[in-house]
Amino acid sequence: MYLHVQYGNEKYDWVKSRTIDELIRLKRIRMFYRFSERRWIDVERDLVRRARSSTYAGIERRTSDSASG
């Protein structure tokens, strides 16, 4: 699948969807078109994919007690 992107120099292109994370990380693109929302996503202002943290800092809500669930 290809995504429509806008580079920092305001030129447009189509790139493979699997490369989008790297382009965002390298700050090579300014925006990309998210088909599911039918709008352009600004990588500086809008919510985009984030690297997942290996540790969770919140309260653990799951329980190992088999009687509770």
For the chain, domain boundaries: 2-42
Q: Supply the pLDDT for residue 13.
A: 97
Q: Supply the pLDDT for residue 35.
A: 92
pLDDT, tens digit (0-9, with 9 covering 90-100), for 13-23: 999 999 999 99
Enumerate the β-bridge partners of residue 9. Answer: none
Q: Supply the pLDDT for residue 48.
A: 73
DSSP string, 18-63: GGHHHHHHTT-EEEEEETTTTEEEETTTS----PPPSS--S-----
pTM as predicted: 0.65
Closest CA to 49 of 22, 29, 69, 67: 22
> Residue 12 has what DSSP assignment?
E
pLDDT, tens digit (0-9, with 9 covering 90-100), for 26-69: 999 999 999 999 999 999 998 776 554 455 566 766 666 555 55
Q: Supply the pLDDT for residue 64.
A: 60
